Structures are given as structure tokens and as C-alpha cells.
Amino acid sequence: MSDIIHLLPDNVANQIAAGEVIQRPASCLKELVENSLDAGAAHIRVIVRDAGRTLLQVVDDGKGMSATDARMAFERHATSKISQASDLFQLRTMGFRGEALASICAVAHVEVQTRREEDEIGTRLEIAGSEVVCQELVQCPIGTNMRVKNLFYNVPARRKFLKTDQTELRNLMTEYQRIALVNPQVQFTFVSNDEIISELPPSTLKQRIEAVFGHSSKPYTGHLVDIATETELVRISGFIGKPETAGKNSHQYMFVNGRYMRHPYFHKALMTAYSGMLLPEHTPSYFLYFEIDPEAIDVNIHPTKTEIKFADEQAIFQILLAATKEALGKFNVAPSLDFTSEQPLDIPQQKPGAMPIAVPRVQLDPTYNPFKSQAVRTTTPKGWEQLYEPLQSTSIPAEPLFEVPAISEATPLFQWDNRYILAPTAAGLMMIHQHRAHARVLYKVLLEQITTEQAATQPLLFPEIIELTDTDLDTLERLLPELRSVGFDLEQFSPSAYSINAIPALLGQKNAVDTIMQVLHSVQDTEQTATQQWQESIALSLALQMAIPQGKSLTEMEMRDLLQRLLQTSSPRYLPNGQTIITILTHEEIQKRF
């Protein structure tokens, strides 16, 4: 038999590689804008038509390319940014793989015009399916103008996977904002279907955050406090939100050396610093900028991944934790908290000659100290005013806090109605919702698994197929990393179906398809973009799916075990969605009945 192995032609190899790098218009935008930044552009314009489907254009005033370089740029592994392996440890540029342009021109029609300052005349190139179809000299401004047309024209499967224009435009915007938030000195313009939808002048970091998220009526950055720390290992700067403005739609951004990143472990450092200050399910805003020796991080992972590995994560965790506590401690504005309101407080700004300002309406009981009973939160034995000295607070919780009484081996436990666990304690009759108690315990475990990606999984002998609508498919794809980290092994089966090859060991006998569908729908109900909230809502909805139901009879041992694990969680009284787990019928309340 003759030999059968041969090398793939370049255009085929490029098209395969493109599948990795360019998944949707937003990944194309990221690559092009990063190239403009690497080229030292001061003004970058992004122009899209039909959410990047028909046109995605990036125009910059950077250093441009020579005629030869312009042609070379589209070859695979063609880069001006690194030349040897050791350069990888000293990266100062966004790009380095030399595969973005090669990938883009394999799956789209590309037209580029570019000119360097030293050249009188520029170059124009047209490329289709990786082939240069035209190269000529042109009059054009200094810089580079890349037009990517008909993205995925030759990859119908990819094109079919694109979501609605609205979703793809949102993805484009997300990518654009991430880049804009870490390059405030650069001017950005975003035009969609001939309409300017974002114009960001060169500015300071704070002004940039304001320009991205602010509405003219009230300053967005008003609730942010500075955070800054510098150690030999890392420099951290930026802003964090005051605790009382934390919410479900707050913004979380972390960047390292100019690159957006997701870092669940550092997020946890921040949340630890805020613990005791936040309502369940609320997350503070933050904009954190890490600067670190490029040798101490590894960005050499997949081009579309936003996770970045740090050599010294634990030390940085501690540094971030301390810096956050310090920043929170410095701000001793002592805002009035109104826990009953969903809205962040509007803190009015006094303008000369303005009307006298009404104090926000908050009921105050001068003798009430919310921290007297702070010990209920098992992880924060002290109130945060004690942790961060300069802080003062007049916060009023929606209902008085009570101490969760200790449960000893000797405390008798009863199950009532196969629904509630009853425990007589010194403080009164404690009643525990068994389903929610178990969900609270599982929530903690699942969230840890999602952030550490370590879960026990159980392979299915016969993979189950889950058929999905477009919307569900969209959600599922966004959830894939989290579902995988809790132990689901999912694999694309057809354009509209996934196969479930393994399930979390925790899931037991529960139906995997039902569980996933429930999670998708509950996540869709809450439109969340920040990673942490995303992960929290997945963990919670999985926990609710997996927890023992109301109506299940429990042995005393099971009850004791459940209670013990519940009381070890950071907030045993409530589920993260605010539902009550434990309540106490006090002596007084009992006496009143007789």
C-alpha cells in the first residue's frame, strides 16, 4: 500500500487554526484592536455592520507596515513581536503568536491599507481565502485600516453558530469595553451600522470608567474608592466600590499588564475582604489593574481564554486582601445603609447655591449597634468596623440579626412534617428548612469546585443527549466552563445538541438533562455578565437541583450531619438568593401564645 500521510495545504491548515482563534466577530475585533495597540495607535476606530457579519473594520493611526511586512503579516506564525522562545517570558505586547491575521484571512475577505510615517505612499492588499488577490500602491493616511468582510463566508457551520445581531453586538461591545478600560490614554470610537455608539476621548482611568459606564444624570464613579499597593512582587491599582453600592449588576474587571483577565481566586480575595459587609448575592464593583514582571505570569495559553496563570498566586491573594481591607478602611464616609432598598443610594453632591439637600431617609435607632450580634457570621467573628478601624457605620439590617445558637451533641433534633428540622436551644425553638439547608451546604461545595475546577465526576455508560433551542444553546455554551468544573462532561453532538458523557458525582440519581435545563433557565432569568455572579448563580441553581427535597424523611444522624455542615458555612441563615434557612421562635414569642 502506498504512503497515506501528507501535509495539509496552508489554506486548509489556516482555516482549521482559525476555528481556534476566531470564533465570532468579537474575537476578530479583539485581535485587530490589540494589533492597533501594539502598533502604538493613539486613536482606534471600530466600524461594524450587521454586528460584524458583513463588515468589521479597525482603523488606527499607529506605525503602519511596509509593503513587504503587510504581505508577510498574513502568513501563519508571522510576527514582529517575538523572535525566540525566551521572548515569551518578556512579553510587553498583546500579540505574539502571529496567527490572528492568518486566521482571519482564512475565513473572510480582508482588505488592508497601511502606511508608515517614513513612506510617502501606502500599500493596499486584498486577500480572500488566504490568497492575495491584489496588491497595489495607494495614497492613504499613516496607520493601518483593516476591513474584514463576510466573516465565515466559507465556513457555513461557523456562520450558523453566530447568534442574533443583538447578542453578537453585545459580545463586540464587551470586548471593546474590556480593551478601552485598560487603555484610557487611547481614543476609541465605535460605529455600528453608521451610528456612533461609543466615543471615548483620551482620559484618566477614572474618567474612562465614567465614560464607559456613566449616565449623564449621575456620576458612576462616585461610589468608587482608590485602591493601591506596591510590593516587590506586584503593583495593584484601581478602584473598588463602596460596600453599600454592591449589587447584582455591578461591574468586575481585572487586568494584568494591560490584558483583561478572569481570576476567580483573586476575586475570592476581594470578596473575603468585603465579607460581612454585603447582602447575600451582592457583589461589589471593582476595576483592578495588576502590574507584574511578565516572567511571573503565563499568558501563553489559548488565545481566546481569559484565564492567566501567576507564579505566586497565594502571595498575591494576601496582598490583594490586605490592600482591599486598607482601601475599605480608609474610606470612612460612614454611608447610611438601607438594606431594604435594591437601589444604590444616591449620594447627593452639594453645589454652591443649590437647594438644601434632604438627608436620605433612613430610620435610625441611635442605641442600635448592628455589630453586637455580628458573631452570627461564622467567618467574621468581629464586625467590619473592628476589622477596619477608621470605618464607622450606621447600617440597619432589614431584620434584627440573631446569633445562631450552638448545637451540641446533646441537643435533641426532631424532624417535623418531613420538611423542617426542629432543635430546642437556649435562644428558643430553632427551625431549619431542610431542603434549603442542604442547598446552602452544596452551594459552598459547588462554588469551590467551580473556582478550583476540582470535582468528582461519574462517567455515564450511555451518554444522554440534550437537545436545545437557540437561546438555550447560547446559554449552555456560556456555561460550559462552569458546568465542566463541577463535573459535567459535555460534548457537542450536533448543531443543536450536546451529549452528556459524565455527570457530577454529587448529582447522584438525579436526571442530568433536567438538571441542566433547570440551570439554563434559572440563569437566563437573571441577566448577569460578571463572572462571579455567573458562577454564583450556576452554583446556586445546581445546589437547589441537587439538594434533598422537602418531604424526605431524615434519620437523626443525617439531620445532625446536615446541621453541622450548615453551621460551618459563612452564612447559614440565608441562601444566596435571600431565602431563609433558619428561623427561631423565641421564648417571648412562645410565651405570648399562652
Residues that bind ligand ADP (CB under 6 A): 31, 35-36, 39, 60, 62-65, 73, 78-81, 95-102, 144
User: Choosing among Mg ion, ligand ADP, none, which partner's interface includes residue 442 (Cβ < 5 to 8 Å by kind)?
Assistant: none
User: Choosing among ligand ADP, Mg ion, none, which partner's interface includes residue 96 (Cβ < 5 to 8 Å by kind)?
Assistant: ligand ADP
- For residue 107, the one-letter residue type is V
CB of 100 to Mg ion, least distance (A): 4
| Residue among 96 and 488 whose Cβ is closer to ligand ADP | 96
Query: What is residue 184's three-state secondary structure?
Result: coil
Q: Which residue is nearest to Mg ion (CB)?
A: 95
CB of 75 to ligand ADP, least distance (A): 8
Query: What is residue 96's three-state secondary structure?
Result: coil
CB of 263 to ligand ADP, least distance (A): 23
CB of 31 to Mg ion, least distance (A): 5
User: Choosing among ligand ADP, Mg ion, none, which partner's interface includes residue 572 (Cβ < 5 to 8 Å by kind)?
Assistant: none
CA–CA dist 265, 300 (Å, integer):
19
| Residue among 98 and 141 whose Cβ is closer to ligand ADP | 98
**Using the 8-state DSSP alphabet, how is residue 25 labeled?**
H
User: Choosing among ligand ADP, Mg ion, none, which partner's interface includes residue 144 (Cβ < 5 to 8 Å by kind)?
Assistant: ligand ADP
- Cβ atoms of 569 and 444 closer than 8 Å: yes
CB of 122 to Mg ion, least distance (A): 20
Q: What residues contact 65, with CB distance under 8 A and at least 6 apart?
A: 73, 114, 116, 123, 144
Q: How far is CA 312 from CA 228, 273, 293, 298, 509, in A?
A: 19, 19, 11, 11, 40
Q: What residues contact 558, with CB distance under 8 A and at least 6 apart?
A: none
CB of 97 to ligand ADP, least distance (A): 5
CB of 562 to ligand ADP, least distance (A): 53
CB of 213 to ligand ADP, least distance (A): 27
CA–CA dist 32, 17 (Å, integer):
17
- Give ∠ CA 370-373-377 in degrees, rounded to 5: 105
CA–CA dist 578, 376 (Å, integer):
16
Three cell numbers, residue 24: 465570532
Which helix H or strand E contains 13, and what residues bound it?
helix 10-21
- Cβ atoms of 423 and 430 closer than 8 Å: yes
User: Choosing among ligand ADP, Mg ion, none, which partner's interface includes residue 141 (Cβ < 5 to 8 Å by kind)?
Assistant: none
Q: What residues contact 12, with CB distance under 8 A and at least 6 apart?
A: none
- Give ∠ CA 175-494-540 in degrees, rounded to 5: 60
CA–CA dist 245, 224 (Å, integer):
9
| Residue among 81 and 325 whose Cβ is closer to Mg ion | 81
User: Choosing among Mg ion, ligand ADP, none, which partner's interface includes residue 65 (Cβ < 5 to 8 Å by kind)?
Assistant: ligand ADP
Query: What is residue 72's three-state secondary structure?
Result: helix
| Residue among 304 and 471 whose Cβ is closer to Mg ion | 304
CB of 35 to Mg ion, least distance (A): 4
| Residue among 94 and 227 whose Cβ is closer to Mg ion | 94
User: Choosing among ligand ADP, Mg ion, none, which partner's interface includes residue 202 (Cβ < 5 to 8 Å by kind)?
Assistant: none
Q: Which residue is nearest to ligand ADP (CB)?
A: 95
| Residue among 24 and 282 whose Cβ is closer to ligand ADP | 24
Query: Which residue shows C-alpha cell 423542617?
Result: 420
Three cell numbers, residue 505: 458525582
| Residue among 82 and 225 whose Cβ is closer to ligand ADP | 82
CA–CA dist 114, 105 (Å, integer):
16
User: Choosing among ligand ADP, Mg ion, none, which partner's interface includes residue 338 (Cβ < 5 to 8 Å by kind)?
Assistant: none
DSSP notation for 416-448: ETTTEEEEEETTEEEEEEHHHHHHHHHHHHHHH
**Using the 8-state DSSP alphabet, how is residue 449 labeled?**
H
CB of 186 to ligand ADP, least distance (A): 13
CB of 89 to Mg ion, least distance (A): 19
Query: Which residue shows C-alpha cell 498566586?
Result: 313
User: Choosing among ligand ADP, Mg ion, none, which partner's interface includes residue 429 (Cβ < 5 to 8 Å by kind)?
Assistant: none
| Residue among 172 and 512 whose Cβ is closer to ligand ADP | 172
CA–CA dist 533, 173 (Å, integer):
19
CA dihedral 98, 99, 102, 108 (to 10 degrees): -130
Which residue, among 101, 105, 109, 57, has the nearest Cα to 79 in the 3D structure?
Answer: 101
Query: Which residue shows C-alpha cell 474587571?
Result: 253
CB of 33 to ligand ADP, least distance (A): 9
Query: Which residue shows C-alpha cell 473592628?
Result: 386
| Residue among 35 and 252 whose Cβ is closer to Mg ion | 35
Query: Which residue shows C-alpha cell 446569633?
Result: 403
User: Choosing among ligand ADP, Mg ion, none, which partner's interface includes residue 73 (Cβ < 5 to 8 Å by kind)?
Assistant: ligand ADP
User: Choosing among Mg ion, ligand ADP, none, which partner's interface includes residue 380 (Cβ < 5 to 8 Å by kind)?
Assistant: none
| Residue among 304 and 496 whose Cβ is closer to Mg ion | 304
| Residue among 100 and 432 whose Cβ is closer to ligand ADP | 100
User: Choosing among ligand ADP, Mg ion, none, which partner's interface includes residue 149 (Cβ < 5 to 8 Å by kind)?
Assistant: none
Binding site for Mg ion (CB under 5 A): 35, 95, 100
| Residue among 48 and 102 whose Cβ is closer to ligand ADP | 102
**Using the 8-state DSSP alphabet, how is residue 7 labeled?**
P
- For residue 132, the one-letter residue type is V
| Residue among 35 and 515 whose Cβ is closer to Mg ion | 35
CB of 307 to ligand ADP, least distance (A): 19
